[in-house]
Amino acid sequence: MTRRLTVAFIAVVLATLLIAGAGTIVLANVRARQTTERQLRDQAQELAANVTTLVGADGGNLTEPQTRRRLRVLRSFSKALDIDDIAVLTVNRRGELIGDTLPAGIGASLIDPQVLSRDGVISGNVGNTVFAAASTNLALVGQTIVVITRTANAALGRSVRLFLLAGAITLLAAAAVAVWLGRRLTKPVREASLATQRVASGQLDTRLPEPAPDDHDEMAELARSINAMAASLQRMRVLEQQFLLSVSHDLRTPLTSIRGYAEAITDGAAEPQQAATVIRSEANRLERLVADLLDLAKLQTNGFSMSIVPIDLAERARTDCSGFVPAAQARGLTLRCESSGPVQVLADPDRVSQILANLIENALKYARQSVVVTVDQAGGHGIVTVDDDGHGIADPDLVHVFERLYVARQQPTRSESSSGLGLAIVKELTEAMNGRVLAGSTERGGARFSVYLPLAGSAIEPLPAPRR
């Protein structure tokens, strides 16, 4: 890029210099020819007017040869008058020019005696040679014509040399500026390219120098984007490792129990009924983990089937809560479901039950004494809220609780094995039904999850911000 930029700079500057130089020379030459022509016209008229003086007052007593010899003296005036050449001619009876030879380049066709008789002077140029002719009448020789020439000089000799020197310096300066600018512009691009290559090779801690806060040009935004990408990939790698460790543990634990009890049954060391109960429980745990993984995969590929129909959200919540009451009591917790009346929403009944199950299970893990499920409606939405009285959600975790692989800093009150995918599934399912789920805190400091689903036949208003 630096090479191309240097070539482009030099080409532009060189073209500019050539155009400017050529234009200057052409204009100077035109101006010089015009000035020279005006001067020659004046000088030719003066010479023609003074021919009588040159011949003398007694010109009438001179013979024609004597008159012509005196006229030739005018040629000696060329140096004094700053002209290149001078010729004195007369017109014979046939209208031909006789006498001195016309200056080089000036043809007889350019000197028209009749025009001179009428206008007194004619002028023009042949290339850079400018001529002027004026006439007068003498007694013995008749019409006498004085032709003078001068090369139009724009006086550009020294100027051209200075122009060429200045042009060379300008080209060198343009090349230096192009190299400096090219390196300055390509340095961030090269750094960005190297950074992305390192990130692609697995060095996810690679970062570009952070631009100044008030720097918002393209290179600064590119650097910020690459840094954000690398940070996101690094974080996702950590979360992926945590997720794999969690899933590996969740898979290994029930498999170990199943294998242990199966071996015990084979050896006759365990009571078959008790062993079968444990194996069945552990198999259910495995099934739930696999189902969670499949649900996420389906949601990501839009392969999740939805049957959106009007349902009573309050009734659905009461039914789902009743199924978790025994589990809550076994843990020494109270589980309540409250509603002000029927709340008709458009949703998939099975997916709503799945959402409530995940939220209630999550609340039971963190609660210390109670979990409260509340159903209400506002702003065109049916709202189901699940509150617990646990330690709540730390501010750094609040924006990440619905991410698939995120592990919160606050550990659950009860040490239980789970996939850690429940809240991610809640978010995906809710949004698939045109709803939204928010995470926040209760007035007592516990966690609160609120699911908003569109009411049947109502206009939807903007959703509120999460409560903290």
For the ranges 69-83, 208-222, 227-241, 431-445, the one whose mean pLDDT is highest: 431-445
User: Minimal CA–CA distance to 121: which of 97, 141, 148?
Assistant: 148
Query: Using one digit for the tens of pLDDT, what is the confidence trace for 345-404?
Result: 999 998 898 899 889 988 998 899 999 999 999 888 999 999 999 888 888 888 888 876
Does residue 461 belong to any structural domain of this protein? Answer: no
Does residue 423 belong to any structural domain of this protein? Answer: yes
Domain CATH code at residue 343: 3.30.565.10
Give me the chain's average pLDDT, please. Answer: 79
Average pLDDT over residues 446-454: 94
Q: How confident is the model at residue 256 (pLDDT cuts 50, 70, 90)?
A: confident
Q: Is the torsion defined by CA of 269, 274, 279, 281 positive or negative? A: negative
Residue 75 confidence (pLDDT) = 60
Report how far residue 387's alpha carbon sits from residue 374's, in angstroms, rounded to the nearest whole number.
Answer: 8
Does residue 271 belong to any structural domain of this protein? Answer: no
Does residue 247 belong to any structural domain of this protein? Answer: no
The answer to whether 87 and 76 have CB atoms below 8 angstroms apart is no
Average pLDDT over residues 272-290: 79
Average pLDDT over residues 307-323: 91
Following DSSP, what letter does each residue of 103-149 receive, concatenated? PTT--GGG--HHHHHHHSEEEEEETTEEEEEEEEEETTTEEEEEEEE
Residue 267 confidence (pLDDT) = 82
Residue 370 confidence (pLDDT) = 93
Residue 375 confidence (pLDDT) = 96
Q: What percent of the chain has pLDDT over 70?
A: 79
Average pLDDT over residues 13-25: 78
Tally of domains in the chain: 2
Does residue 327 belong to any structural domain of this protein? Answer: yes
Q: How confident is the model at residue 312 (pLDDT cuts 50, 70, 90)?
A: very high
Report how far residue 318's alpha carbon sits from residue 320's, in angstroms, rounded to the nearest whole number.
Answer: 6
C-alpha count within 13 angstroms, C-beta hemisphere, residue 361: 18
Residue 274 has pLDDT above 60, yes or no: yes
Query: Using one digit for the tens of pLDDT, what is the confidence trace for 147-176?
Result: 888 887 655 666 667 777 877 888 888 888
Residue 417 has pLDDT above 50, yes or no: no
The contacts of residue 112 (CB under 8 Å, 6+ apart) are 122
- Residue finishing a domain among 103, 129, 158: 158
The answer to whether 409 and 397 have CB atoms below 8 angstroms apart is yes
Domain CATH code at residue 60: 3.30.450.160
Q: 3-state class of 154 per DSSP?
A: coil
Residue 293 has pLDDT above 80, yes or no: no
Does residue 420 belong to any structural domain of this protein? Answer: yes
Buried b (16+ CB within 10 A) or exposed e, 328-337: beeeebebeb
The contacts of residue 375 (CB under 8 Å, 6+ apart) are 313, 314, 317, 337, 338, 339, 340, 343, 382, 383, 384, 385
Does residue 63 belong to any structural domain of this protein? Answer: yes
The two structure tokens encoding residue 338: 């409250």
Does residue 55 belong to any structural domain of this protein? Answer: yes
Residue 41 has pLDDT above 80, yes or no: yes
The answer to whether 453 and 345 have CB atoms below 8 angstroms apart is yes
Q: Which domain holds residue 80?
A: 2-158
Amino acid at 432: A
Residue 468 confidence (pLDDT) = 40
Number of Cβ within a 10 Å radius of residue 4? 10
The answer to whether 85 and 78 have CB atoms below 8 angstroms apart is yes
Residue 59 confidence (pLDDT) = 44
The answer to whether 452 and 435 have CB atoms below 8 angstroms apart is yes
Average pLDDT over residues 106-135: 87
Report how far residue 343's alpha carbon sits from residue 347's, in angstroms, rounded to the nearest whole number.
Answer: 12
Could you give phi then psi for residue 75, rounded to 5 degrees?
Answer: -65, -25
The contacts of residue 318 (CB under 8 Å, 6+ apart) are 337, 339
- Residue finishing a domain among 132, 158, 184: 158
Read off the pTM.
Answer: 0.47
Report how far residue 302's alpha carbon sits from residue 183's, in angstroms, rounded to the nearest whole number.
Answer: 47
Residue 467 confidence (pLDDT) = 45
Does 388 or 8 have the greater pLDDT score? 388
Residue 415 confidence (pLDDT) = 47
8-state DSSP, 269? -
- Residue finishing a domain among 113, 139, 158: 158
